Amino acid sequence: MKIRIFWKSGELIATLRDTATSQKLLACLPCKSSCNTWGDEIYFSLPMESTLEEDAKQVVDPGTVCFWVEGNSIAIPFGPTPISKGDECRLAARVNLLGDCIGDPKILGTIKEGDIIQIEKT
């Protein structure tokens, strides 16, 4: 399954993994939210909850679509965050891995704090 993540100046398509949290995400789509930034990461809250899955990680590849359980938010890093060591993408906590962006995730750098971001099934 694929999702479209879009904002006023761009968009990304992501392929979802078959996980319990991904299924919860699909069930709440479409939705929109105000976006936050943290270093080279965007995150935004969604009307869903989940528990931490067994394969949850704190360090992921750029463009990994993640679910931050504590914040009920999608988080997508595209480069280092304030707590990264070197060039890694280190999130604030372990996150569930939902999927991967297709194409260059650096386009997420065009998002400004407070921009409206939307997510829908494709």
Which CATH code fits 2-121?
Answer: 2.40.100.20
pLDDT of residue 16: 98
Amino acid residing at 89: C
pLDDT of residue 89: 98
Average pLDDT over residues 12-30: 97
Domain ranges of the chain: 2-121
Q: Determine what percent of the chain is predicted with pLDDT higher than 90.
A: 100
- Residue 5: pLDDT band (50, 70, 90) is very high
pLDDT tens-digit series, residues 28-85: 999 999 999 999 999 999 999 999 999 999 999 999 999 999 999 999 999 999 999 9
Q: What is the 3-state secondary structure (H, E, C) of 20-56?
A: HHHHHHHHHCCEEEECEECCCEEEEECCCCCCCCCCC
Amino acid residing at 51: T
